Amino acid sequence: DQQVKQNSPSLSVQEGRISILNCDYTNSMFDYFLWYKKYPAEGPTFLISISSIKDKNEDGRFTVFLNKSAKHLSLHIVPSQPGDSAVYFCAVRSLIQGAQKLVFGQGTRLTINP
């Protein structure tokens, strides 16, 4: 069973516009949420995280929104830049259960067009 879903395998956005990547999860015990970016031939790079006590966290051009009632997570990138082209993974964790492992979505390939 897929506990974390990223329903868009790919997304294409024009440079300078907003990129919105989405993620849905099924288990209400998940209480810590992260986004990673992955370039080809590299490991995932941590971008931004949010705990379940918040509904928004911002870091420069990156903002993560959490809707706990909908079990939905999104990452906004604004303005989008060509260097943002990569595969983006959302990942979740259950701190309250003491779980150390991350559960990842399938990823969304973001392409920023000049």
Residues in contact with other proteins by CB under 8 A are 4, 9, 32, 34, 36, 41-46, 49, 51, 89, 91, 93, 95, 100-107
Smallest Cα–Cα separation from 4: which of 23, 17, 19? 23
Cβ 104 to other proteins, closest distance in Å?
3
| Closest to other proteins by CB, 17 or 34 | 34
Task: List for the chain the helix, strand, coil content (%; round to 5).
Answer: 5, 55, 45
| Closest to other proteins by CB, 14 or 51 | 51
Q: Are 6 and 22 in contact (CB under 8 A)?
A: yes
| Closest to other proteins by CB, 43 or 114 | 43
Cβ 106 to other proteins, closest distance in Å?
5
Pairing of strands 108-113, 86-93: antiparallel
